[in-house]
Amino acid sequence: MTALEQTAAPGRPAWMQTAWILMRLSALLLVPMVWIHVLIQDVLVGVHHIDLDYVAMRWASLGWRAYDAALLCFAFAHGVNGLRQVLEDYIHGPRARRVLRILLFLFWLAVTLLGGAAVIGGARS
Amino acid sequence: MQSFAKFVSSSAHYRPREGMAAFLLHRISGLAVLLFLSIHIVDTSTVYFFPEFYEEFLAVYRAPVFMLLEIALVAGVVYHGLNGFRIALFDLVLPAAWTIERERLSVRLTILLAALLWLPAGLIMGGNFIGYSFLGW
């Protein structure tokens, strides 16, 4: 049995396999996208050359805005789902897991909306 | 949480093999990157909500200790991505090709490749760290 078939084991909700597949598909996109983002901003530009004007200049290009929006969607969802998997290794009760999933979903939603509003609204000076 | 305490105490005198090491590094790097990413989304959102605070966040990131953490962050991002590729390769593309020997070799290659890819970035960022922290750039 392959790992993909194992995720569809009977008694397991369908969204788990969807989440499992999304983890791997988002990861394939994330590897080049995050590496390029980190290479440009952390290594080549560096935090000492980043300020409000730099963000405004970058977001003047619709392409970079879309790039950052995509990073926000894929990277943060991938990370929060990963955190869910880690915590569910230690939290086993069905009630506790339900509470955990609701809390993590709200955390994901709040931070994504915050970041999404900024990407759409843009830098103000 | 009892299982977590047991895991921590037993880890102190257990030398992991390659697969376990890859798993632990994947978890630690993933959690660390998620911690930074959460802070990073919130700090970046100030460019729209509270532009006057954005520069203060950046002043924190420019502190020497955060510049060192940034170098570690890049190592985590490089390793987590490469190891993710390794996992997806065995899970999705070549499940029949998996053997314990290949698992162990692939982990060693992944760590080696991650170190090689991180090295030039680490040198550039390390140069910036020394320049901005001690040489008054």
Q: What single-letter DSSP state applies at residue A13? A: -
Arithmetic mean of pLDDT, B43-71? 94
Min Cα–Cα distance to chain B from A61, Å = 16
Chain A residues closer than 8 Å to B84 by CB: 24, 27, 31
ipTM above 0.85, yes or no: yes
Query: Which domain CATH number covers B84?
Result: 1.20.1300.10
Q: pLDDT (tens digit, 9 = 90+) per residue, A102-122?
A: 999 999 999 999 999 999 999
Residue B47 within any structural domain of the chain = yes
Report domain extents, chain A. 14-121
Structure confidence by residue, pLDDT tens digits, A17-70 = 888 888 888 888 999 999 999 999 999 999 999 999 999 999 999 999 999 999
Under the banding of pLDDT at 50, 70 and 90, the label for residue A15 is: confident
For B7-43, b/e burial (b = at least 16 CB within 10 A) is eeeeeeeeeeebeeebeebbeebbbbbbebbbebbbb
Domain span including residue B123 = 17-134
Highest mean pLDDT among A1-5, B13-17, B27-31: B27-31
B2-11: long-range contacts, CB 8 A cutoff, minimum separation 24: B3/A90, B4/A90
**Which residue in B44, B61, B79, B124 has the most chain A C-beta atoms within 10 A of its own C-beta, making it the best mutation to test that interface?**
B44
From A3, A44, A117, residue closest to B45, measured CB to CB = A117
pLDDT at B1: 64
- Tell me which fold the domain A14-121 belongs to: 3 helical TM bundles of succinate and fumarate reductases (1.20.1300)
d(CA B80, CA B73): 10
Instruction: Report the alpha-carbon distance of residue A34 to residue B30 in Å, rounded.
Output: 13
